[in-house]
Amino acid sequence: MATIKVRNYELPAFDMKQASSRKALQLKNTIISNLKKLGVHEDFITVKEEAVVIKRAPASVSWYMDGQNLYYSYTSHNYIQNLYVVSSIIDLEIQAVLSGEKTREECVNGFYEDKGVEGKRKEARELLGVSKDCYDFDLISKKYKDLSKTHHPDMGGDLEMFQEINNAHKMLKRELC
């Protein structure tokens, strides 16, 4: 059976026979229901929706908890598969908090993102020389390695640019891995 490895979890692959708008709505409702278990009010939860669930598009959720804007997205497959991963990861993380394996603070830190993270990710892709809708981490890493060699301070490169390249790669790695 195929699996997906995300955030140190191994999830069974999504069965595309279940791909439907109804299943997407069920996954969205599961995300909301799970976040409510931690006291997050429904008005503070936003799940990105797509009209065509088999379209290649990221799935994301943002919510406000413990004074922080939290965010999680997954982008490696089509929308319904990505939404399944987002729902599964949030479910596993919330179960870990409720069972005492993790603290609320650890949970918050694991999902903390700046409000403008989507714009920053587009800028990071631009800096690394890949298209704004590139989700191929191997390609991103290849571009990162080429640029970091060129701009490495030990090779006569610009330290500031080298740091920007490293930060861009780290941001995209967090999104895609």
Domains of the chain listed by start with CATH number: 3-111 (no CATH), 117-176 (1.10.287)
Average pLDDT over residues 113-129: 84
Selected residue with higher pLDDT from 5 and 22: 22
Give the integer Cα–Cα distance in Å for 92 and 99.
Answer: 10
Q: What is the pLDDT of residue 39?
A: 95
Question: Does the structure show a pLDDT above 80 at 150?
Answer: yes
The amino acid present at 57, given as its one-letter code, is A
Average pLDDT over residues 61-66: 91
Question: Does the structure show a pLDDT above 90 at 146?
Answer: yes
pLDDT band at 75 (very low <50, low <70, confident <90, very high): confident
SS3 1: coil
pLDDT band at 174 (very low <50, low <70, confident <90, very high): confident
Question: Does the structure show a pLDDT above 70 at 34?
Answer: yes
Mean pLDDT rounded to a whole number for the chain: 90
Average pLDDT over residues 50-69: 90
Give the integer Cα–Cα distance in Å for 97 and 106.
Answer: 9
Give the integer Cα–Cα distance in Å for 8 and 117.
Answer: 22
Question: Does the structure show a pLDDT above 70 at 28?
Answer: yes
Q: What is the pLDDT of residue 177?
A: 64
Structure confidence by residue, pLDDT tens digits, 80-104: 999 999 999 999 999 999 999 999 9
Phi, psi of 25 (to 5 degrees): -65, -40
pLDDT band at 67 (very low <50, low <70, confident <90, very high): confident
Question: Does the structure show a pLDDT above 90 at 7?
Answer: no
pLDDT band at 59 (very low <50, low <70, confident <90, very high): very high
Give the integer Cα–Cα distance in Å for 103 and 94.
Answer: 10
